[in-house]
């Protein structure tokens, strides 16, 4: 498993924490954006691994598919990481090297027949590009860039394993930063309530209350005597429910609370 894949799993662990999940689920668009982004980060890692590890095709068509696929995978993985941060309201800063990788994708397989830039609302044609078929290998290919003004073409060696390595290193830093923010958020929440233990809501006399309810229903004690202790227990449960809601984890325990409340 790659480092990116491991970091993806750590983020999933944090967002599925009951408290965090409770704060995310009321916003389905952001939640779907978040989970889609995590899926795509993992999916593209599988694609990058396949490019690096699988048998290299012998036919040119297969080689083109591998090159088109890996460059598109790098592009999509960057977008997924950015959208992941957006869904969590975390600032995302693009490293210049990641921008360069995107440019390689645009030049080679994204918009090779007419690369443009928008300047003052006017589209300016920059270059027309070619992948040199005979140079295609697992290591990359030669890209030729020609220009509309007749200047000398450029020949660029594109090293795909190098692009993968650089992107993985940079995205790992970005994902690690997201994890640190989620971790800090969790620690701050824990500190906020460290002096308010949930167990303190329930008195040591709780067992006594239950005993008196039993005596009222099975023994010779009057009903009012049992009702008094039912009310005391319900008061504890209501306080407990309020404390769970305040901490953002009520939904995770709602079923159990309902099961307790029903016979009372």
d(C-alpha 102, C-alpha 38), whole Å: 20
Question: What's the CA gap between 114 and 85, in Å, rounded?
Answer: 32
Q: What is the pLDDT of residues 112-129, one digit of tens each?
A: 999 887 665 666 678 999
Residue 237 and residue 257 in contact, taking contact as beta carbons nearer than 8 Å: yes
Q: Which residues contact 264 (CB under 8 A, 6 or more apart)?
A: 230, 233, 234, 237
Q: Is the pLDDT of residue 219 over 70?
A: no
Confidence at residue 246, expressed as pLDDT on a 0 to 100 scale:
75
Q: Region 9-14: what's the mean pLDDT?
A: 97
Collapse the DSSP code of 123 into the 3-class scheme (helix H, G, I; strand E, B; otherwise coil) and give the result: strand
| pLDDT at residue 202 in the model | 81
Residue 190 has pLDDT above 80, yes or no: no
The pLDDT value recorded for residue 113 is 93
Structure tokens at 223: 């009903």
pLDDT in tens, 75-87: 999 999 999 999 9
Enter the pTM of the model.
0.79
Contacts of 102 (CB under 8 A, 6+ apart): 75, 78
* Predicted pLDDT of residue 15: 96
Q: Which of 45, 94, 101 is nearest to 71 (CA)?
A: 101
Considering only residues 163 and 217, tell me which one the structure prediction assigns the higher pLDDT. Answer: 163
Each residue of 162-184: pLDDT tens digit?
Answer: 999 999 999 999 999 999 999 99
Q: Write down the pLDDT at residue 48.
A: 98
- The predicted-structure confidence for 36-64, as pLDDT tens digits, reads as follows 999 999 999 999 999 999 999 999 999 99
What rounded mean pLDDT belongs to the chain? Answer: 88
Q: What pLDDT, on the 0 to 100 scale, is given for residue 235?
A: 83
Nearest CA to 107 out of 66, 174, 158 is that of: 158
pLDDT of 185 reads 84
CA distance 141 to 158: 5
Residues 6+ apart with CB under 8 A from 154: 144, 145
pLDDT of residue 227: 76
Q: Are 115 and 107 in contact (CB under 8 A)?
A: yes
- The pLDDT, as a whole number, for residue 228 is 80
Give the pLDDT of residue 252: 66
Q: What is the pLDDT of residue 96?
A: 96
Sole residue written with tokens 């989620």: 182
What SS3 state is found at 159?
strand
Number of neighbouring beta carbons within 10 Å of residue 178: 20
Q: Report which DSSP code applies to 126.
A: E
pLDDT-based confidence at residue 197 (cuts at 50, 70, 90):
confident
């Amino acid at each position: 498993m790659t480092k990116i894949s491991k970091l993806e799993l750590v983020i999933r662990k944090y967002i599925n924490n009951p408290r965090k999940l409770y704060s995310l689920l009321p916003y389905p668009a952001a939640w779907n954006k978040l989970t889609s982004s995590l899926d795509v980060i993992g999916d593209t890692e599988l694609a990058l691994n396949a490019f690096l590890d699988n048998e290299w095709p012998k036919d040119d068509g297969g080689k083109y598919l591998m090159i088109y696929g890996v460059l598109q995978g790098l592009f999509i993985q960057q977008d997924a990481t950015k959208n992941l941060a957006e869904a969590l309201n975390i600032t995302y800063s693009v490293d210049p090297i990641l921008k360069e990788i995107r440019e390689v994708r645009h030049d080679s397989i994204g918009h090779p027949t007419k690369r443009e830039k928008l300047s003052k609302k006017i589209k300016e044609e920059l270059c027309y590009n070619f992948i040199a078929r005979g140079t295609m290998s697992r290591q990359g290919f030669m890209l030729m860039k020609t220009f509309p003004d007749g200047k000398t073409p450029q020949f660029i060696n594109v090293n795909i394993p190098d692009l993968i390595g650089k992107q993985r290193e940079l995205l790992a830093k970005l994902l690690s930063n997201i994890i640190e923010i989620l971790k800090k958020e969790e620690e701050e929440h824990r500190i906020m309530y460290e002096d308010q233990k949930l167990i303190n809501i329930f008195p040591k006399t709780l067992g006594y209350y239950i005993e008196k309810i039993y005596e009222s229903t099975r023994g010779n004690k009057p009903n009012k005597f049992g009702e008094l202790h039912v009310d005391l227990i319900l008061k504890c449960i209501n306080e407990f429910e309020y404390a769970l809601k305040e901490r953002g984890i009520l939904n995770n325990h709602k079923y159990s609370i309902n099961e307790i409340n029903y016979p009372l």
